[in-house]
Amino acid sequence: MKICKICIQPDTRPGIYFDDQGICGACLWEEEKKEINWESREKELEDIAEWAKKTANGNYDCAIGVSGGKDSTKQALTARDRLGLRCLLINCEPDGITEIGRHNIENLKKLGFDVISLRPNPKVMKMLVKRDFYKHLNPVKITEFPLYASTYIIAEKFDIPLIIQGENPGLTLGTSLTGVGTDSNAMKADELQTLSSGWKEYMEIEEIEEKDLYLFHYDRKKLEKKGCKAIWLNYFLKEWSSHKNAIFSKEYGLKWHPEDFDQESVGTYLPYFQLDGDLTQVNQLLKYIKFGFGQCMDHACYDLREHRITRDEAIKLVKKYDGKCSEKYIKKFCDYIGIDIMEFWNIVEKFRGKMWIKKNNKWYNTYWDKF
């Protein structure tokens, strides 16, 4: 196991790219951004927007998938106010949406957007989440299928020529070894790490039929045949950044976690992530146990790459917060899928990564020895 020589991201992230110098793909992207002709990229984006306006036959020029987080507001306002597009926002509501998440979706409506909200059958979703917990220790894996697919489905049904997604993780996380690549083409969203296994694997569940999974996949070939385009917005915008998007969106009414939020209960120090659902908090704990890093690692690396904190400060934050998760979130998850706490930890231990060793009868993350 190794960590990036610039940030502290480990090579245990699925699909992560490291160059011969030991630098991760996300840090390489930060360096590449300094050399990009951003005026040319923005002109390319404007040309795509003009194409969409001329191509659209219906009421909307573009479809935008929104979760209600910091990036959603940035996407929507950029498309409408900067590019002059007629936008339809599509929200796939998670099970157990938080009050903050609900507020942020309502805020998008108040900003003057048409919004379609979808919610996959909660009985089906619960079965799929439980299956992914037992099979992959990744209960949010299945939730990302309709999160992405719903936008493409609606775009196809409404004859909307352009789909705008937020950021390509092949760039911002450095996971370019997945099929999604490092370009602007978001039509390949179904090749993202969590989606690449395909929706048909869920057909192995006896109670699930193909019709139950309609909102969990899209027909890329049909969209391409119709001439639709899908783009990652961060590919075109120099100012795109999780931190800057959060500041920008807050000015337009986005609600963050409160200033006095319990950082240790959610395993990070930043108040503008994981706003719409509590299931993601547990998943970050599971990611930490499986791969040796959680969301604090992600957030510290973002801040380190953008020079808001030093490497030493990033390490201290990771050691303080990474992998922390309140028992209330764990219990809530167990109640949701119908298991007890003992069963939860029995399953978790089956997936514990090789970076863990026992010290004084406690688990120790040897990944930290690489710092």
Q: Residue for token digits 């201290």?
A: 316
- Given this model, what pLDDT does residue 324 score? 96
- Given this model, what pLDDT does residue 116 score? 97
Instruction: Give the residue-averaged pLDDT of 104-126.
Output: 96
CB 154 within 8 A of CB 63: yes
- Given this model, what pLDDT does residue 197 score? 82
Q: What Å distances lie between residue 214 and 188, 205, 208, 217, 269, CA to CA?
A: 18, 15, 11, 7, 37
Q: Which residue from 303, 6, 14 is spatially nearest to 136, judged by alpha carbons?
A: 14
Structure tokens at 87: 């936008």
Instruction: Give yes or no for residue 102 having a pLDDT over 90.
Output: yes
Instruction: Give yes or no for residue 181 having a pLDDT over 90.
Output: no
Instruction: Give yes or no for residue 360 having a pLDDT over 80.
Output: yes
Alpha helices in the chain (DSSP H): 25-33, 38-55, 70-77, 99-110, 122-136, 144-157, 169-172, 220-225, 242-251, 263-266, 279-291, 295-305, 311-321, 327-337, 341-350
Does this model's pTM top 0.85? My answer is yes
Angstrom distance (rounded) from CA 165 to CA 63: 9
Q: Mean pLDDT of all residues in the chain?
A: 95
Instruction: Give the residue-averaged pLDDT of 353-357.
Output: 96
Instruction: Give the residue-averaged pLDDT of 281-304.
Output: 97
- Given this model, what pLDDT does residue 195 score? 84
Q: What Å distances lie between residue 196 and 160, 173, 183, CA to CA?
A: 25, 17, 17
Structure confidence at residue 200 as a pLDDT band (50, 70, 90):
very high
- Given this model, what pLDDT does residue 198 score? 86
Q: 96: left (phi > 0), else alpha (psi -120 to 50), else beta?
A: left
Q: What Å distances lie between residue 132 and 129, 136, 141, 206, 232, CA to CA?
A: 5, 5, 7, 15, 27
Instruction: Give yes or no for residue 194 having a pLDDT over 90.
Output: no
Instruction: Give yes or no for residue 193 having a pLDDT over 80.
Output: no
CB 5 within 8 A of CB 22: yes
Instruction: Give yes or no for residue 160 having a pLDDT over 80.
Output: yes
- At residue 354, what is the residue type? K
Q: Which residue from 293, 354, 299 is spatially nearest to 13, judged by alpha carbons?
A: 293
Count Cβ atoms within 10 A of the Cβ of residue 177 and give its class: 0-12 exposed, 13-18 middle, 19 or more buried: middle
Q: Packing angle between helix 327-337 and helix 341-350, nearest 10 degrees?
A: 100
Angstrom distance (rounded) from CA 180 to CA 166: 13
Q: What Å distances lie between residue 24 and 172, 318, 319, CA to CA?
A: 10, 18, 21
Q: Which domains does the chain have, with CATH numbers?
A: 38-235 (3.40.50), 260-370 (no CATH)
Instruction: Give yes or no for residue 3 having a pLDDT over 90.
Output: yes
Instruction: Give the residue-averaged pLDDT of 135-145.
Output: 95
pLDDT per residue over 34-51, tens digit each?
999 999 999 999 999 999
Q: What percent helix, strand, coil does the chain show, rounded to 5? A: 50, 10, 40
CB 222 within 8 A of CB 194: no
